[in-house]
Amino acid sequence: MGRKRFQSQVATGPATVRTVADLAGVSIASASRVLNGLGGSPELSARVKAAAERVGYVPNAIARSLQAQRTGLIGLAVADIGNPVYVQMMRAIEAEIADCGRQLLIHATNANAAGETELLRGLARRYVDGMIMSPLRVTEAHLNALAKSAVPVVVVGQLPDDAPIDNVRADSIAGVRLAVDHLVDTGRRRIAMINGPLDTVPGAARDTGFRSALAARGLAPADVEYGDFTFEAGLAAARRLLERSGGTGDRPDAILAANDLIAAGTLHALLAAGVRVPHDVALVGMDNTDITELTFPRLTSVDLGAAERGRRAARLLLSRLDDGTIGPRRETVPPTLVQRDST
Amino acid sequence: MGRKRFQSQVATGPATVRTVADLAGVSIASASRVLNGLGGSPELSARVKAAAERVGYVPNAIARSLQAQRTGLIGLAVADIGNPVYVQMMRAIEAEIADCGRQLLIHATNANAAGETELLRGLARRYVDGMIMSPLRVTEAHLNALAKSAVPVVVVGQLPDDAPIDNVRADSIAGVRLAVDHLVDTGRRRIAMINGPLDTVPGAARDTGFRSALAARGLAPADVEYGDFTFEAGLAAARRLLERSGGTGDRPDAILAANDLIAAGTLHALLAAGVRVPHDVALVGMDNTDITELTFPRLTSVDLGAAERGRRAARLLLSRLDDGTIGPRRETVPPTLVQRDST
DNA sequence: TTGAAAGCGATACCAT
DNA sequence: ATGGTATCGCTTTCAA
């Protein structure tokens, strides 16, 4: 029966509004008001401020969140926080939401689909006002979980067209076409591709795009290899590809890598085999990450707009948090080709 | 005067314990107990669980945190979330704390000292149970703020020896010595260094280490350059260095770069100038980030244990959260040299 | 075993 | 302008 109510607050634990109010000899309501810059007579304000200062009062954000029904936190779920593409995206998102005084809660899903849906069910109702996620693969379970998520979610990546969820996507197909056209325009004809896994959304899209872009120029793939979206996989795939074309004659004169990591691996294999880049083989990566500047020669790469996608996703989410009634929106970020020294 | 208290909860907003309790026809206390797996008769438990299932109940973590006085969130403040070293550290920390069901709240300080102390005063009392920070520079203000932080903080990086704060540090000096010894042992004599800014903690330590390590082998620096800890700065500094030693005669036969980004920039400048690596000039980076594998040739690099430092910092913090009474601890992670193809 | 009620810390709505 | 108090959703005594 509220014993504490009637005993004055001795310095127990960190300061609360009550500590400040007691010290200033005012009600907690007045203390709260002054602390939030609403009303208060000069005299009372001064007393409260002095008291707050003296006890080093810092408002407890948890309590405030409970009352306000919002935390100011935005969740970001990515497969791998080390992947340069996600790093780019994270940076853009962070910058965008920091402007609104919000913070980023980052969660690595480790490309684990079960974990991702669990996240939507759990974490979505945990601490975040909204959430941005970029799943590598999208399953039925994802869609289900997304549909009943308790907070707004924006998905970066491909989603079925009828999914009623805010969605920002890259245009891989157009991106691949940019690369292919660039290679053909600069005289390459035997164009090979080193792709990621076909059962991922980006892998599948890039495969389709590659074949149709070549067909549009009256060409067929010189060769195709698959592996993970990693440097090591790119290195291994490129070695297989080089081995297959033992004679210089049927070696591809250009290779399109499905991302910059694969491209870096490929470059490594080429240089190690004494192949000159771009003289003998032109090389194009995708994602236009920082990696492109680190290699020698620097990599030509298709910018699929990771940063821009992050920025737009953040904006979509922020606007939805302002007004939950707007219908689902879909944005597509157009790719650009950034030519450097590998083509 | 508590109107709501007496009206049954109609489907308003997301389900709460009250929703579940009302639906199951039990008290919220019982509902809470069942939901947390404490007690409850089989019959009652079943009813509550069914009700929770039906309304898709997910506990509100904010409310729980307010009660429990902990959020399960760990804050991480780094200068730049894109820097590969921090990425390594983040990954290690994330993995470590995820095991304990905690999550990472990441904050980019953009190397802004004012922001960092503000963080300690504000965010530390905001949402996190504890915090790991890795400041580039440590000021008086930092130390002050650290001293009165409301939650435990672990600092990754150098701190004054008498600072009563958990602290994990790299041993830059030993790291530089490893590199220098390796270069000398492999026959290099004219060793230059491309360093970061001298007014940063790591920059200063590496400079000291470089000079003393050389002196220990009876050598003097062949040349020294400074710039930021970036690829571009490394590239520019290496160009200046090459220009200075116009004749091949007094060109350094080895360069130590203060981090891998600088090393990559340096490599770029060397290769562009037609210098063979490692034949003409050996090159050693520091931090042993993923970058070392991406370049051609791959970079020999001193591993200052970023991942290990992150892991230890996480462990220190977790143990302190368990028991706040232990005194401040200080750990130093020993460096290792990882030889690759650039030496 | 179950339920009533007291908090956690802050804000907001009332009266005064 | 100021103070009392209900409330956010949950956990946790304390009684019954």
Q: Answer whether B286 touches A (CB < 8 Å).
A: no
**Rounded distance between C-alpha atoms, residue A91 and residue A85, angstroms:** 10
> What are the Cα distances from residue A136, in Å, to A78, A167, A202, A288, B17?
9, 14, 8, 19, 35
Cα distance from A213 to chain B (closest Cα, Å)? 29
Q: CB–CB of B63 and A66 under 8 A?
A: yes
The residues of A between 60 and 79 with beta carbon within 7 Å of nucleic strand C are 60, 63-64, 66-68
Share of chain A above pLDDT 90, in %: 71
Share of chain A above pLDDT 70, in %: 93
Question: Per-residue b/e over B281-296, b at no fewer than 16 CB within 10 Å?
Answer: bbbbbbbbbbbbbbbb
- The chain-wide mean pLDDT, for chain A, equals 90
Pairing between β-strand A103-108 and β-strand B103-108 as defined by DSSP bridges: antiparallel
The encoded tokens of residue A214 equal: 């070549």
Runs of H (alpha helix) within chain A: 17-24, 28-35, 42-55, 61-68, 84-98, 113-121, 140-147, 172-185, 201-216, 231-244, 260-272, 291-294, 306-322
pLDDT at A106: 83
Cα distance from B216 to chain A (closest Cα, Å)? 34
Q: How far is the CA of B31 from the C1' of C2 (A)?
A: 10
Among the listed residues A271, A198, A269, the one whose alpha carbon sits nearest the alpha carbon of residue A229:
A198
> Which residues of chain B fall below pLDDT 50?
1-10
A-facing residues of B in 235-274 (CB < 8 A) are: 264, 267-268, 271-272
Closest Cβ opposite residue B267 in set A91, A126, A296: A296
Helix (H/G/I), strand (E/B), else coil: A153:
strand
Three-state SS letters, B267-298? HHHHHHCCCCCCCCCEEEEECCCCHHHHCCCC
Among the listed residues A79, A84, A82, the one whose alpha carbon sits nearest the alpha carbon of residue A261:
A84
Q: CB–CB of A58 and B272 under 8 A?
A: no
Query: Sign of torsion, CA B251 B252 B258 B260?
Result: positive
Cα distance from A295 to chain B (closest Cα, Å)? 6
pLDDT at A1: 35
Cα distance from B106 to chain A (closest Cα, Å)? 6
Rounded to the nearest 10 degrees, what angle do helices B84-98 and B306-322 cross at?
40
What's the distance, CA B234 to chain centroid?
A: 22
The encoded tokens of residue B115 equal: 């922001």
Measured between beta carbons, the chain A residues lying within 8 angstroms of B291 are 294
CA-based max dimension of chain B: 92
pLDDT class for A127, splitting at 50, 70, 90? confident
**Rounded distance between C-alpha atoms, residue B127 and residue B62, angstroms:** 10
Pairing between β-strand A336-338 and β-strand B330-333 as defined by DSSP bridges: unpaired
Q: Has residue A297 got a pLDDT over 60?
A: yes
Q: Which residues fall within 8 angstroms of residue B127, CB to CB, at 6 or more apart? A: A61, A62, A71, A73, A103, A127, B71, B73, B75, B105
**For residue A335, what is the DSSP state?**
P
pLDDT at B143: 86
Q: Using an 8 Å Cβ cutoff, are A157 and A169 in contact? A: yes
Nucleotides of C under 7 A from a protein CB: 1-13
Among the listed residues B83, B42, B62, the one whose alpha carbon sits nearest the alpha carbon of residue B306:
B83
Position A103, amino acid? Q
Q: How far is the CA of A310 from the C1' of C9 (A)?
A: 35
Helix (H/G/I), strand (E/B), else coil: B336:
strand
**For residue A14, what is the DSSP state?**
S
The encoded tokens of residue B255 equal: 């360069």
> Which helix (H) or strand (E) is B154 found in, with range?
strand B153-156
Mean pLDDT to the nearest integer, A224-234? 96
Measured between beta carbons, the chain B residues lying within 8 angstroms of A121 are 58
Q: How far is the CA of A156 from the C1' of D9 (A)?
A: 32
pLDDT at B3: 36
Q: CB–CB of A107 and B106 under 8 A?
A: no
Nucleotides of D under 7 A from a protein CB: 1-13
Q: Using an 8 Å Cβ cutoff, are A214 and A254 in contact? A: no
- Report the range of poorest mean pLDDT among A115-129, A270-284, B26-40: A115-129
| Domains delineated in chain B | 2-59 (1.10.260.40), 70-170+307-334 (3.40.50.2300), 172-303 (3.40.50.2300)
Measured between beta carbons, the chain B residues lying within 8 angstroms of A87 are 81-82, 87
Q: Using an 8 Å Cβ cutoff, are A225 and A192 in contact? A: yes
Interface test with B, best of A97, A125, A290 (most B CBs within 10 A): A125
In chain A, the residue whose alpha carbon lies closest to the alpha carbon of B261 is A294
Highest-confidence segment of A245-254, A334-343, B35-44, B132-141? A334-343
Q: Answer whether B129 touches A (CB < 8 Å).
A: no
pLDDT at B305: 97
pLDDT digits (tens, 9 = 90+) for B293-335: 999 999 999 999 999 999 999 999 999 998 888 989 999 999 9
The encoded tokens of residue A58 equal: 């810092």
Closest Cβ opposite residue A62 in set B59, B66, B231: B66
Q: Answer whether A81 touches B (CB < 8 Å).
A: yes
Number of Cβ within a 10 Å radius of residue A247: 6
pLDDT at A111: 64
The encoded tokens of residue B173 equal: 């000096």
Backbone angles phi, psi at B277, to 5 degrees: -120, 125
pLDDT class for A21, splitting at 50, 70, 90? very high
Helix (H/G/I), strand (E/B), else coil: B219:
coil
pLDDT at A245: 85
According to DSSP, the residues that pair with B155 across neighbouring strands are: B133, B167
Closest Cβ opposite residue A87 in set B81, B122, B231: B81
Pairing between β-strand B300-303 and β-strand B336-338 as defined by DSSP bridges: antiparallel
**Rounded distance between C-alpha atoms, residue B181 and residue B187, angstroms:** 10
The encoded tokens of residue A90 equal: 């994270």
Q: CB–CB of A103 and B107 under 8 A?
A: yes
The closest nt to B28, taking CA to C1', is C3
pLDDT at A108: 79
pLDDT at B123: 62
Q: CB–CB of B91 and A108 under 8 A?
A: yes
CA-based max dimension of chain A: 92
Q: Answer whether A277 touches B (CB < 8 Å).
A: no
If you write DSSP's letter for every residue of A312-325 in order, what string do you get? Answer: HHHHHHHHHHH-TT
Among the listed residues B107, B20, B331, B42, the one whose alpha carbon sits nearest the alpha carbon of residue A105:
B107
The closest nt to B40, taking CA to C1', is C1
Q: Answer whether B148 touches A (CB < 8 Å).
A: yes
pLDDT at B247: 65
Q: Answer whether B111 touches A (CB < 8 Å).
A: no
Q: Answer whether A25 touches B (CB < 8 Å).
A: no
Q: CB–CB of A231 and B293 under 8 A?
A: yes
Interface test with A, best of B97, B99, B126, B261 (most A CBs within 10 A): B126
Q: Answer whether A73 touches B (CB < 8 Å).
A: yes
The closest nt to A45, taking CA to C1', is D1
Q: Has residue A212 got a pLDDT over 60?
A: yes
Q: Answer whether A126 touches B (CB < 8 Å).
A: yes
**Rounded distance between C-alpha atoms, residue B210 and residue B107, angstroms:** 33
Q: Has residue A305 got a pLDDT over 60?
A: yes
Question: Is the C-beta of residue A29 closer than 7 Å to nucleic acid chain C?
Answer: yes
Q: How far is the CA of B59 from the C1' of D14 (A)?
A: 25
Q: How far is the CA of B317 from the C1' of D13 (A)?
A: 31
pLDDT class for A9, splitting at 50, 70, 90? very low
Q: How far is the CA of B7 from the C1' of C3 (A)?
A: 18
pLDDT class for A2, splitting at 50, 70, 90? very low
pLDDT class for A247, splitting at 50, 70, 90? low
Position B40, amino acid? G
If you write DSSP's letter for every residue of A226-251 in order, what string do you get? Answer: E--SSHHHHHHHHHHHHHHT-SSTTS
Measured between beta carbons, the chain A residues lying within 8 angstroms of B149 are none
Burial (CB count <10 Å: 0-12, 13-18, 19+), residue A118: middle
Number of Cβ within a 10 Å radius of residue B308: 19
Q: Using an 8 Å Cβ cutoff, are B203 and B230 in contact? A: no
